[in-house]
Amino acid sequence: KSTFYGMYYDQQPVYHDPPSNQWFGFQAWSMERVAEYYQQTGNAQAKAVLDKWVKWALSKTTINPDGTYQIPSTLQWSGQPDTWNASSPGANSGLHVTVADYTNDVGVAAAYAKTLSYYAAKS
């Protein structure tokens, strides 16, 4: 199994039924914090993470002319990330995600919108 500073990768790190990593809301909430940090500090590492995540998230988002929208809801992961090497980080080409279904949950959408706003404000 892949490791990060000696800790083994767990595809369901908090709970298993349903898997804790499958809800897009957890990503929106966490990335909101990363984007706020980036907006305040201009941290290049935060920007690098956000550049990739925002591009992916926007590609999975639909906003219609009538104001309705769809954002990811359930994520399905396969494979594993690369074992972490701080001096030469891998691309995690063996780890894949697909969107199983979509939602218009206003709470998740709010966190997602705030993430995009903080990111855009600094970028």
Catalytic site positions? 66
Contact criterion met (CB below 8 Å) for 100 and 76: yes
The structure tokens 């990503």 sit at 27
The structure tokens 């898997």 sit at 19
CA-CA-CA-CA dihedral for 10, 55, 46, 73, to nearest 10: -40
Contact criterion met (CB below 8 Å) for 3 and 80: no
- Other CB atoms closer than 10 Å to residue 107's CB: what's the count? 11
